[in-house]
Amino acid sequence: MPQTPKDGTTVVLPRGLRKGLTNYGDTGFSLFLRKAFIKGAGYTDEALDRTIVGVVNTGSGYNPCHGNAPQLIEAVKRGVMMAGGLAIDFPTISIAESFSAPTSMYLRNLMSMDTEEMIRAQPMDAVVLIGGCDKTVPAQLMGAASANIPMVQLITGSMLTGGHRGERVGACTDCRRYWGRFRAQEIDEQEITEVNGKLVASVGTCSVMGTASTMACLGEALGIVMPGGASPPAVTSDRIRIAELSGRQAVEITRTGLTPDRILTAKAFENALRVLLAIGGSTNGIIHLTAIAGRMGFEVDLDAFDRMSRETPVLVDLKPSGQHYMEDLHFAGGMPAVLRELRPLLHLDALTVTGRTLGEEIDAFRPFPQTVVRPIADPIYPAGGIAFLRGNLAPGGAIIKQSAANPELMEHEGRAVVFEDSADLASRIDDPELDVHADDILVLKHIGPAGAPGMPEAGYLPIPKKLASTGVKDMVRISDGRMSGTAAGTIVLHVTPEAALGGPLALVRSGDRIRLSVSARSIALLVSDAELARRREALTQQPAPAAPAAPLRGYRKLFLEQITQADKGCDFAFLRATEMVGRVPGHAADAADAADAADQE
């Protein structure tokens, strides 16, 4: 692949099997040896001389979200072959949300490292990344962006919806809804067992606008997923065709040298942040976008993001913010329909993996009547789905998914009921003697990035059983953790800095008053500065916890040494770009334009 440095000279980089040869001191022997071994798989010299596209295989028996991986790999290989290339699939870590202890987020950065290093280690001219379950797409984009070879992200796709006693259901918003009804004793053991077999009707990711669907949509908004590639359900022919097209395009971008740094620009991240707000996307989306942007040298300005939120309505009527499911969004035109409505608010000149601009891709879409994607003049919610909060309880910020919250609780003052950690929550939340009332505020500490570790989706605190049984459906809940994108409720998340690092959350005691004002974007602990100073002094004088029985080692040691806070995307510090070149949203796009102009001079 030729490259032209600023001095005007042309450098021809190795391609295909000649990339990344092991150095034995004899380049010819290195290539000879490599070809000898891969010929053991039956390849001919003609095949091995083609453009090579690596295909990341994240299929796993533990990951039903990726249950269609074999079919997708076959289709990608077909597309690569049709374009004259050779596809070689290889495995990486597969993270399944419900099967990853202590939490899938704990393993996201490990998967990103695995993805990056296997791309770097093995000879390939481009890569197709197959991912779908919550942490897999951001992990792949983080790793492949750092490796910076031509790439296409291929989404596995959402599951189909099922039916229960005449009602349409799908994971995982309906999982939470039915479990809440069971806890409230509205349904019995027989029905909860029955619905358990109906919620997931096929392989694929959650059928609502949870984190998996959010990241699929953001991938298309970033321009790294093929147009229309976010929404086809996993088991449809549309999904297989997108896989074939992804393989074809992977070969094409090796010819044009379209690397991720030309696509994942400041404008692309601003577009994705705008889309995150407009689709009522998962709160996890902001953490993942921040991490991906950090790999490319961009800081996410959460205050500017909140200003963007105030002018960006929610347009997509999907659970948990609305009523529909991902397959409905697909039938309504998918992301192209969303992007068309958002057109006045987007950077239309942002480049996509097709080699065309986002504006050109939007122009190619022909709209039709549907009810899932609302017109920008008639949104389902007037402001963006996520609001950014600050206050003495969260000096570094916190967020709330306002589109899925109870409007009556978004301006609320109440008494804190505090749980020190997840074990404390599990042991007391259903205690009939728990001192808790419907207008109280539930506070959970030590579930942040370092405190848990891994920042689990435990921010969706269950309603205490004594209140749930009386019909209470929602309460204000605050934590330094995350929640599933499939969840709904008046829930304040990502409190920064976290309790484990001595953030103000660590100082909250049961009985304290807390005031939440989403309109004022504030979260305040109504305790005097003097009293908080006394509590902090007492906290620092507490005896140190006993040393662990075994020395801290391995990945856990690396995790705790390198993990950043939510406002930095919970990435490892040493994996972020060595130099930050701009901030998004805001003036970063202007800086990128100036840099491009300088390169052309």
Confidence of residue 590 (pLDDT cuts 50, 70, 90): very low
Give the pLDDT mean for 369-396. 96
pLDDT in tens, 316-366: 999 999 999 999 999 999 999 999 999 999 999 999 999 999 999 999 999
Phi, psi (rounded to 5 degrees) for 285: -60, -35
Q: Which residue, 269, 278, 311, 288, is CA-closest to 385? A: 278
Q: Give 482's DSSP letter.
A: -
**What whole-number distance in Å separates Cα of residue 373 and Cα of residue 333?**
9
3-state SS class at 305: helix
Give the pLDDT mean for 162-190. 94
Q: Which residue is associated with the tokens 């995350």? A: 482
Q: Is 87 exposed, middle or buried (0-12, 13-18, 19+ CB in 10 A)?
A: buried
Residue 315 near residue 382 (C-beta atoms within 8 A): no
Residue 385 near residue 306 (C-beta atoms within 8 A): no
3-state SS class at 48: helix
Structure tokens at 33: 């040896």
Phi, psi (rounded to 5 degrees) for 395: -60, -35
**What whole-number distance in Å separates Cα of residue 458 and Cα of residue 375?**
35
Give the pLDDT mean for 401-410. 95
Instruction: Flag whether pLDDT at 195 surpasses 50.
Output: yes
- Predicted confidence at residue 5, as pLDDT, reads 54
Q: Which residue is associated with the tokens 């490319």? A: 296
**What whole-number distance in Å separates Cα of residue 210 and Cα of residue 98?**
14
Give the pLDDT mean for 383-396. 96
Structure tokens at 197: 């077999």
Give percent above pLDDT 90 in the chain.
91
Confidence of residue 586 (pLDDT cuts 50, 70, 90): confident
Structure tokens at 334: 């998918």
Give the pLDDT mean for 199-217. 97
Residue 490 near residue 410 (C-beta atoms within 8 A): yes
Residue 160 near residue 201 (C-beta atoms within 8 A): yes
Residue 318 near residue 280 (C-beta atoms within 8 A): yes
- Predicted confidence at residue 537, as pLDDT, reads 94
- Predicted confidence at residue 10, as pLDDT, reads 55
- Predicted confidence at residue 549, as pLDDT, reads 67
**What whole-number distance in Å separates Cα of residue 361 and Cα of residue 364?**
5
Structure tokens at 163: 């039916």
Give the pLDDT mean for 417-439. 97
Instruction: Flag whether pLDDT at 7 surpasses 80.
Output: no
Domains and CATH numbers, the chain: 386-540 (3.50.30.80)
Residue 515 near residue 413 (C-beta atoms within 8 A): yes
Residue 365 near residue 336 (C-beta atoms within 8 A): yes
Confidence of residue 13 (pLDDT cuts 50, 70, 90): confident
Confidence of residue 542 (pLDDT cuts 50, 70, 90): confident
Instruction: Flag whether pLDDT at 588 surpasses 80.
Output: no
Q: Which residue is associated with the tokens 């997931």? A: 200
Residue 452 near residue 482 (C-beta atoms within 8 A): no
pLDDT in tens, 35-46: 999 999 999 999
- What is the pTM for the complete model shown? 0.94
Residues in the chain: 601
Instruction: Flag whether pLDDT at 251 surpasses 50.
Output: yes
Q: Which residue is associated with the tokens 């070689």? A: 88
Instruction: Flag whether pLDDT at 182 surpasses 60.
Output: yes
Select the highest-mean-pLDDT range: 2-11, 161-170, 592-601.
Answer: 161-170
**What whole-number distance in Å separates Cα of residue 515 and Cα of residue 510?**
14
Comparing 89-93, 178-182, 510-514, the range with the smallest average pLDDT is 178-182
